Structure 1
Amino acid sequence: MNRSDVLDAEAAMRALFPPTPLQLNDYLSARYGASIWLKREDLSPVRSYKIRGAFNFFRKAIAAGQTDRIFVCASAGNHAQGFAFVCRHFQVHGVVFMPVTTPQQKIDKTQAFGGPFITIRLHGDFFDQCYDAARRHVAETDGVMVPPFDNPDIIEGQATVAAEILDQMPEGEKPDLVILPVGGGGLSAGVTGYLEGTVPESGFRFTEPAGAPSLKRSLEAGHVLTLPKVDNFVDGAAVARIGDLNYAALSRFKPEQVVLIPENAICVTMIEMLNVEGVVLEPAGALSIATLNALPPELLAGRNIVAVVSGGNFDFERLPDVKERAMRYSGVKKYFILRLAQRPGALRDFLNLLGPEDDIARFEYLKKTARNFGSILIGIETRRPENFAALVERFEAAGLGFEDITENEILSNLII
């Protein structure tokens, strides 16, 4: 990667927004015994780093005389918002294709960023259908497709994150370890390319949601793989196939350097950062911070750690689900199916089994399974995970028929 070109992109970007902060986080630093620096891409004008790649793509396309063509993108998330913001900045017209299922909040926000310079078209129930419609529109109108990650100008734009990090570190210091969230791979390809020679290959860790490990599986196979399915919860990083250019840039790294984080563990970090630090993060934006807990303590202790916080576009309508997932992962909430005797006093006897820190969060009679017994769905919250071991012992001692369904994915999705 040509550092001079990246620095030119960064300088041009200052007309759009100032550098995002690199903040030393005292709370995380104390926890891990290290200097934990957060690169706050959630504080960009569109609350994600995606504006960087979009800006650089447009800057070069306009310099090449493409101002009379229609720019097109397909996205229901951060790429669409960065695209729209840059369209308005350069006063060029763009079309954003989004699935029909896109939440209205995301549609409204994208429209607000682009104003009169963008048109939003809703097409298809799934992203693939939406993307196909965008490609057809490009072909029919001789438009310009602005890809989300698999493009050299996009990668170069994302590399400006690394240029800012080096400029913002205390004088004479550099990162010992850089943690990068991975979706399509544009951010990681750009940052690692720019930092090559400054941060050793061993000084990078990449993080993906456990339900969308496209980089890790591709590195294990030695070539780009398309995942048969992905968990879309971490929507900003739930990509079935990493970009070809991005994989080529990252193929020098080892599969062991990619850390997979369970989706529910990401929720724990989101809730913690909101409650403790007052920082609102989207699931993909919490990935790098959640990874700190998954790394060996000796890898972190006493070192300069930079975690790139990729985005903060969080829809608060999702908060109850995030909190639910976080509590279940932390072991302070469980769901049981109880086989309760159909007799007076049976419920009172059960309630007497609960401890002083146990609280019923859900109670639902499911159906009568036998003449003398009924099934109850019950959700219990407690303050400490170890309380459940004692509660289960009391269930067993009382001869209570029960089944813990907390980790049963099928039942949880259907019932909870």
Structure 2
Amino acid sequence: MTNFLERVNEATEAVRALFPETPLQENDYLSRKTGARILLKREDLSPVRSYKIRGAFNFFRKALGAGARSELFACASAGNHAQGFAFVCRHFARKGVVFMPVTTPQQKIDKTRLFGGEFVEIRLIGDFFDDCYRAALTFAETEGAHMVPPFDHKDIIDGQATVGREIAAQLGRTPDIMVLPVGGGGLSAGVTRYFRERGSAPRFVFAEPAGSPSLKESLVVGRRVKLSKVDNFVDGAAVAEIGREPFRHLKDFPADSVKLIPENRLCATMIEMLNIEGVVLEPAGALAIDTLKDFPRKEIKGKTIVLVVSGGNFDFERLPDVKERALRFEGLKKYFVFRFPQRPGALRDFLQVLGPEDDITRFEYLKKSARNFGSVLIGIETKDRRNFDILAKRFHETGWAYQDITDNDTIAGLVI
């Protein structure tokens, strides 16, 4: 029986039938910015623009190699796992059924169909992932199909571990720090185990969305925790419960090895990488890069740091929302509700308070709160965050009554 390292070596050699190793690129911009040597493992440059193809391929390879009685496969996914699954179905010329929520964006449906071609059938079931996941499980049981999980399986973890083997071969030594994005935990479990069993593990840091900290919460209490609420913005890593098998490999890491990444700050990183480096990243793909903002410069100066860029399947229809969140994080855009007088010239008086770098991006009456006043939602964008301090002083001096709702999630969620 082969051991883990042997299995990963075999999986790495086998996956070369699909694509060459993804690049490990030194990034001059991030290196100069941090004072460290920053290398990006570009999983966004795989054939399906994410690492998920590795685990799916290894699962298929092992199932077919073991003389699987059924040649029918199934999965539930609205993202990268579905696309990796579809690509592998076509490679092995095996029939696959992908279950997706009805709410899945058409772009993701089209890409999955493109990768799978005639070998993949897509079924849209339910409004939420849990609905289509149950449907996929029922289908697999009824039809005798192989259910291909996104992360919670030994063969999936072995496949994702090929990322670690490639990094070790490309770098030629162990990095000082390695940052891994975490969703269900398959990638992190595979890569950490690979380096640990080689006997030369770096310091591992895990990047998790602040709105879905399933690994962090589980490490705090020492057992898997299912979150009661998940922010789905980082859709590639928004998981309510870390996988059972991945957690078995990750449970000994300290809770403070997990960095929780604020979603709005993550958007600023995505825009920065797009504008400066020309690199298109999905939210989950930017997680590892964003952690650099949490390291004191003196702590990482001169160190070699590998960041796994897990995916680049970004739907550009989301770009306005990403830019909006980035501006709010950087303090360059705010939303206010003003008590606006209902008289001629009121808007002109308000505009005179604004500075030369201040721009109104939204003006909307919400309701008439009294006969002579109305509540008005006003969005203001500026070029320097310090301009808002000047504005606040001017509003006070001129007697404008208002409330800053930028960071009030409850009100902002209703009116912005």
Task: Identify the residue that residue 366 of structure 1 maps to in structure 2.
Answer: 366
Mapped to 1, the partners of 2:276 and 2:198 lie a distance apart of 33
Q: Count residues in correspondence.
A: 414
Flag as ranges the 4+ runs of structure 1 deviating above 3 A: 197-202
Task: Identify the residue that residue 231 of structure 1 maps to in structure 2.
Answer: 231
Mapped to 2, the partners of 1:158 and 1:41 lie a distance apart of 11
Question: Secondary structure of the residue that 2:360 maps to in structure 1?
Answer: strand
Matched-pair contact (CA < 8 Å) for 1:207–1:258: yes
Mapped to 2, the partners of 1:386 and 1:198 lie a distance apart of 51
Matched-pair contact (CA < 8 Å) for 2:70–2:144: no
With normalisation by structure 1, the TM-score equals: 0.97
Q: Match of 2:52, as an amino acid?
A: K
Mapped to 2, the partners of 1:271 and 1:408 lie a distance apart of 23
Mapped to 1, the partners of 2:199 and 2:211 lie a distance apart of 29
Matched-pair contact (CA < 8 Å) for 1:176–1:199: no
Q: Match of 1:357, as an amino acid?
A: E
Q: Match of 2:143, as an amino acid?
A: T
Mapped to 1, the partners of 2:69 and 2:150 lie a distance apart of 20
Task: Identify the residue that residue 164 of structure 2 maps to in structure 1.
Answer: 162
Mapped to 2, the partners of 1:349 and 1:194 lie a distance apart of 65
Task: Identify the residue that residue 92 of structure 1 maps to in structure 2.
Answer: 94
Mapped to 2, the partners of 1:299 and 1:3 lie a distance apart of 32
Deviations 1:355-378 (A, max 9, x none): 111111111122222222222211
Matched-pair contact (CA < 8 Å) for 1:179–1:204: yes
Mapped to 2, the partners of 1:271 and 1:343 lie a distance apart of 41
1:56-205 correspondence to structure 2 within 5 Å = 56-66=58-68, 68-169=70-171, 171=172, 173-196=173-196, 203-205=203-205
Task: Identify the residue that residue 16 of structure 1 maps to in structure 2.
Answer: 18
Mapped to 2, the partners of 1:149 and 1:37 lie a distance apart of 25
Question: Secondary structure of the residue that 1:335 maps to in structure 2?
Answer: strand
1:371-382 correspondence to structure 2 within 5 Å = 371-382=371-382
Mapped to 2, the partners of 1:151 and 1:197 lie a distance apart of 19
1:285 has 2:285 as partner = yes
Uncovered stretches (5+) of structure 2, i.e. residues with no partner: none
Assess, with a 3 A threshold, how the Cα gap between structure 1 residues 80 and 296 changes in structure 2: closer, same or farther.
Answer: same
Matched-pair contact (CA < 8 Å) for 2:214–2:242: yes
Task: Identify the residue that residue 3 of structure 1 maps to in structure 2.
Answer: 5
Mapped to 1, the partners of 2:304 and 2:391 lie a distance apart of 43
Uncovered stretches (5+) of structure 1, i.e. residues with no partner: none
Matched-pair contact (CA < 8 Å) for 1:335–1:405: yes
Task: Identify the residue that residue 267 of structure 1 maps to in structure 2.
Answer: 267
Matched-pair contact (CA < 8 Å) for 2:175–2:202: no
Q: Match of 2:216, as an amino acid?
A: K
1:241-390 correspondence to structure 2 within 5 Å = 241-390=241-390
Deviations 1:24-80 (A, max 9, x none): 011111100011101000000000000000011111111111274311111111000
Shift, 1:200, TM fit: 6.4
Question: Secondary structure of the residue that 2:265 maps to in structure 1?
Answer: helix
Question: Secondary structure of the residue that 1:180 maps to in structure 2?
Answer: strand
Question: Secondary structure of the residue that 2:294 maps to in structure 1?
Answer: coil
Question: Secondary structure of the residue that 2:350 maps to in structure 1?
Answer: helix
Mapped to 2, the partners of 1:259 and 1:199 lie a distance apart of 25
Mapped to 2, the partners of 1:165 and 1:33 lie a distance apart of 21
Task: Identify the residue that residue 214 of structure 2 maps to in structure 1.
Answer: 214
Assess, with a 3 A threshold, how the Cα gap between structure 1 residues 256 and 34 changes in structure 2: closer, same or farther.
Answer: same
Matched-pair contact (CA < 8 Å) for 1:219–1:251: yes
Matched-pair contact (CA < 8 Å) for 1:24–1:37: yes
